[in-house]
Structure 1
Amino acid sequence: MSVTIIAEAGVNHNGDLAMALDLVDAAAAAGADAVKFQTFKAEEIIGRHAPKAEYALRATGADESFLDMVRKLELDEAAHRALIRRCAERAIAFLSTPFDRPSLALLAGPLGLKTLKLPSGELTNAPLLLDAARSGCAIILSTGMSTLGEVETALGVLAFGLLDESEPPGAEAFARAWGTAAGRQRVAERVTLLHCTTEYPAAFADVNLRAMDSLAQAFGVRVGLSDHTPGIAVALAATARGATVIEKHFTLDRSLPGPDHQASLEPAELTAMITGIRQVEAALGDGIKAPAAAELKNIPIARKCLVARRAIAAGEMFTADNLAVKRAGGLASPLGYWARLGTAAQRSHEPDEPLDP
């Protein structure tokens, strides 16, 4: 199955619908499978005195509050519909991340999304997780900042919602749902976990890409990577390690004002990443160790064979003095060297002439 590549536009439209539409075009031109935005109501998700993250402070300064910064990045329902239309025109899937319950209801309801991407910061937001599970959508869940135990708890919430349990929700009910074979099966069918390092940009030493393997082994689900590192190397490595989804932030221009531009790829880099991922996929193959079709013609050229070191008369015994191993296009394998010693030549041979098989 081909890796799903999500070009994360996020809030890199700066609240401008025209720029958001340009981001759709850029993601489609780069060959991404989906372009993803963020859906939220600022007052629903940001407290009046909430501090800014360090990366946002570096990008936007301290004069503007976190709430004011986020409020300017909202897209209303009409903008979402315009983006969905543009995605349909450009044959790229539209995705968005809901950060609050009304936004999730909008995406899964009137806007008709079939897949929801939930961010790392919502991994402990049990009410949002439960709504996502009950929405009927497939779920992609990032796991930045979390332990395996926290991921398991989140999967319990999803299992409870996917099983449509009638008992009241709560920690014990979630644990029971995850403990059932049916709950785990529903999760495996509907949920993909993304390993993630929640820092912008993330240092290579903090990526811990092997944790992606740990998620797959611990929970039996599809896994992938939400990559915040500079460049494209880690995305290519994750593909080689079996990622089924790669998500990467991109922007039209890293020098634009806003919280996420500086940690994002520009369009040419996004194209290079997608090209590289597809090349890695092609290179992975089926795992069967056998000659590739393209190699077959090179076997008689590259492999050596048994030849006459000097002229050999018919009936003469083969010895270490008159046998050699060289590239000569013959079919007598050097593996038979010792079996030939002391046997008689069935015919005469010229110097460097291949022996008969």
Structure 2
Amino acid sequence: MPTKSYFEKLPPFPNDVPVAKLPRISFAKLLDNETEESEALFSATRKLGFFMLDFQDCAEGQSFLEKSETMFEINKKICEMDIGDLAQYAYHPPHSLFGYKKLGDIKIKDGRPDRLTFYNISQDDMTGIAKPMSHPPCVESHRADVWDFMNQAHSIIELICSHLDTQLRLPLGTLASMQPMSLPSGTALRLLQYPPQPESDRRTSLLGHTDIRTLTILFNLTGGFQILLPGRDATDNSAWMYVKPEPGYAIINLGDAMVEWSGGILRSNMHRVTFAPGEQSKLPRYSLAYLVRPDGDAPMKRLGGEGSLIPQAEGGGEEDTMTAREREVHKSIAIQSGKDNARSRGGIEI
């Protein structure tokens, strides 16, 4: 999450709330290509599909934390805008995944509306691959800052992928080649806000789901984000554990594409958002997520080859013949209607 000084502006996360114990991985050690840290990363991506990435021990990490704070400031400015003014930037899934999503557009599992708003900024827009989109002034005036954040975020994703290539015994650059910044994709920076919930009606804000994409870098300031414990039933509320936001860390998780490409070795774990605990529940909840999607034409079939750890498909067939673009449309329609039927996937023994 952003720096400690940013956290000090908010009520603390309660000490008496049980939290998930996510593995902690050092960004500095990954940069230094330390073998033990690479192996710890691989273990985390297989067993849980989530880990905390520590950016505090090097200049590159501190720079990224400072960039994330600028993104939070843009988020707050968007949320201060009149809803009528934001309507002109509305997104229209599945045809357009970028722009403003108003409160209640997505259904949760029981059919009730969600409790969040967000603004999606297309990476293709920022890089110039796609035709420039129209944004609110608070975004347009910070195009250079958004690009700087995305550019460094993508380099972090490439670093993670390089270590996974090594651990999966794939040629270096294999996973990164499926999601380059130079080709059109649905990759986006998502700026989210969850209004405070009334004490008499607190519930899930965003339904339990896995991510369709490859990897996500998530920054939260207050609680509310939860993961489903492995092997537990998603209908059991006690199986969902809060992830405590901490200064200097980002939450990293793998999406469904990584499960497909790795033949089930890597894990995509269910997660959701509910109300924040303690005094934090009285405040609007802000977060930001860098959501990496594959190149639209990338196949979803498993990777592999001679010497790879990735097993061949049973019977010589493939589990998924869709392209990334086809998968995105299929799942976005399901999520919009509350019929995602998500489940944690992957993490097979090797």
TM-score calculated relative to the size of structure 2: 0.24
Q: Which has the higher contact order (CA 8 A, sep 6+)?
A: 2
TM-score calculated relative to the size of structure 1: 0.24
Question: Which entry has the higher C-alpha Rg, 1 or 2?
Answer: 1
